[in-house]
Structure 1
Amino acid sequence: MVRMQQSQQHRYEIVEEVLRTNIASGRLPEGLVLLEGPIAEILQTSRAPVQKALQRLEVDRLVHRFDGRGYLVGPPESRVGPLRKEIKSLGLDIPEAADEALQSRSSWERIYDIVETDVAGCVVFGQYRIVENSLAEHFGVSRTVVREVLSRLQERGLVRKNQSSHWIAGPLTAKTIRDHFALRRLLEPPALIEAAPLVDRDQLEALYEDLKERECVAFDDGESLEAFESRLIDICVLTTPNEMLAQLIRDNLLPVLASERLLRQLGLPSDRAALTEHRLIAELILRGAVDAAAAMLVRHLDAAMNRNIAQMKIVAVISEPSSVAAYFTRVEA
């Protein structure tokens, strides 16, 4: 059942509940291929909240990735093959309250997820200026709405104002990566220790088994590796009862995970060593060795930082992709 106070929920939470309800009812059958684009179109939202909703459903084993685009409905051990149907033809059950909540968001909320994704995806290529007028024209909104979006991005550390009061995003450099990972080392291990007694053991055991299986097979899918990272953080770190700590961790992770996604999209390989690091963290928590798990997390973060910086040096010689949003203006150093 969709919660009553949907106006206070994030968009991805509303999308998640709609999908969860339709999976439970069988309207979205086991094996059905779920793609972000068609779901976003039906719910009249951007892809970003749909992506996060699917990742959260994956953690709960209601959907899983496969050797193709999107997700399949059902747990990873399901033997049902991909069922490709137009999701529009299935007649999703979208409660009126959920539909109203998705459509009645203020204008800044309607575009925030898209702008956040665009910003996080470009900063690896350098420093960009965001002109308020250009952003407003791009989305067909007022400058008041644009300022609200940029102010919230500033709160999360994704943009800043320079001495000329221009909005600036990036650059994400080796130094800023080190700074982000320094914060990860400070924030995430204590959060893991606090979260350990509250961890959903079934979810953690499922993650552990999935990691073991992946270690034993050829693995070239960087997106799946990123999904493992997200699952580990969601299950073992963000379960901390300290909501302020959890939010700091989420905000700090935004540019880090965005840069890793972009590196995979550019064809740079993922590192299988991360799988073993993730598996050891999960195994240690399952064994009750929480302090050892926190120490292993620190080792993983140090290794991940070095891997990320090494690949950033490769990106430095790659030209800016055409996918950078039109409302960004490159600022030469």
Structure 2
Amino acid sequence: MTRKATAAVVSDPQPATLFEAAADLLRANIADGKLGAGVVLQESALSERLSMSRATVKRALSILAQEGLIRKFSGRGYLVTGSDETPRRLDLRTLDLDLETLDDTVGKPNWLRIQDAVENALSRCLIFGRYRVVEALVAQEFDVSRTVVRDVLSRLQERGLVQKSASSRWVVEPLTAQRIKDKFELRMVLEVAALYSSEPDTAALVALANDIRALPEDRPVAPETWFDLDHRFFELAILSTPNQDLIHYVSANRGALWALQRVLFSIGLPPDRQSLLELCMVIDLLQAGTPTAAASMLSTHLENALNRTIAQLKIVSVINPPDDLAPYLVPAGDG
């Protein structure tokens, strides 16, 4: 039997959890001398200063204690270690600390801070089988409550990335060939209908077509360039329909397919230039004032895109899942 290769799927760096961000900040301020030897660090004061929960600050202090940067002493809290460890009780709420080391996501709502990372993690397993998403492990991974986790998963459910099983567990269903065909069949109905009723920015469409045709022919299209051009067409020619219900269903149907495409690109399958040139043809027909012909060309483009995606799926069918899938994703089998 031929052994499957293991996918080397490139994942986006995960945002630091709040307690890691807090530990990084305190570590940097100790190194800079803003929190010198002997300064007493108390959870309550730091919690106010950093606008974080006491539980988060407690975990951060525990990390620094393990590193030997601070230690427990006879009083409350921790003491910054150093040459002179005479306890100094400063007002941490007003102390001039460098807060620049905080991650940009700190201070955002918890669901927003982690949603991109969870979405990326779920997307990575779409072609590798059925996975259960364990709420408690997601909460532990990102140092958030399970309420926040449910909020994020509910939002991703709307995008088609995760579903609730009959037993009310969160499950990522694999994008099989049949599911992909079903989604493209929906695209052929919904997106063609949206195109007919769209009210696109003519100048922006012309600029998009020019950008596509200007792509160098002597080198592959970069994945991010492909996504940028594909998204621009989607927004200009499809989402410009005044039908808000149609916009909702079209967008929900596309979410999982875009996620799938990102995974396929990440394991080395190149973006297809022909698919972009087909979009140019749709634009040309719209500019010529022939919406029926444009809709027909869009249908042809979607049929070709379906065939290309199925062909790519066959290629990756011999690849094992990557070794570094998120720890909160558990293989669920077919049940």
TM-score by length of 1: 0.65
Match of 2:169 among 155, 166, 169: 166
Q: 1:288 to 1:323 in 2, by over 3 A?
A: farther
The equivalent residue for 2:35 is: none
> C-alpha separation between the residues in 2 aligned to 1:234 and 1:147?
29
Aligned 8 A contact 2:220 2:270 in 1:
no
After superposition, where does 1:102-181 map in structure 2 within 5 Å?
A: 106-181=109-184
Cα drift, residue 323 of structure 1: 4.5
The equivalent residue for 1:258 is: 259
**Which deviations, in whole Å up to 9, do the C-alpha atoms of 1:117-146 show, x marking residues without a partner?**
322232122111111110110111111221
The equivalent residue for 2:327 is: 326
Aligned 8 A contact 1:223 1:264 in 2:
no
Aligned 8 A contact 2:197 2:242 in 1:
yes
**Which deviations, in whole Å up to 9, do the C-alpha atoms of 1:61-117 show, x marking residues without a partner?**
xxxxxxxxxxxxxxxxxxxxxxxxxxxxxxxxxxxxxxxxx8765432332232223
Aligned 8 A contact 2:123 2:263 in 1:
no
Q: Which has the higher helix share?
A: 1
The equivalent residue for 1:63 is: none
Q: 1:215 to 1:179 in 2, by over 3 A?
A: farther
Gaps (5+ residues) in structure 2?
1-11, 17-104
What letter corresponds to residue 199 of structure 1 in structure 2?
P
Aligned 8 A contact 2:223 2:265 in 1:
yes
What letter corresponds to residue 107 of structure 1 in structure 2?
N
> C-alpha separation between the residues in 1 aligned to 2:241 and 2:324?
36
Q: 1:156 to 1:267 in 2, by over 3 A?
A: closer
Cα drift, residue 256 of structure 1: 0.5
**Which deviations, in whole Å up to 9, do the C-alpha atoms of 1:237-267 show, x marking residues without a partner?**
1111112211211111111011112111111
The equivalent residue for 1:204 is: 205
SS in 2 for 1:332: coil
The equivalent residue for 2:228 is: 227
The equivalent residue for 1:191 is: 194
> C-alpha separation between the residues in 2 aligned to 1:227 and 1:194?
23
TM-score by length of 2: 0.64
Q: 1:214 to 1:126 in 2, by over 3 A?
A: same
> C-alpha separation between the residues in 2 aligned to 1:110 and 1:215?
37
What letter corresponds to residue 163 of structure 2 in structure 1?
R
Please say which structure displays the higher CA radius of gyration.
2
Aligned 8 A contact 2:241 2:247 in 1:
yes
What letter corresponds to residue 214 of structure 2 in structure 1?
E
The equivalent residue for 1:282 is: 283
Cα drift, residue 223 of structure 1: 3.3
Identity across matched positions, percent: 41
Instruction: Give the alignment's Cα RMSD to 1 decimal.
Output: 2.3
After superposition, where does 1:292-307 map in structure 2 within 5 Å?
A: 292-307=293-308
Gaps (5+ residues) in structure 1?
1-35, 42-101
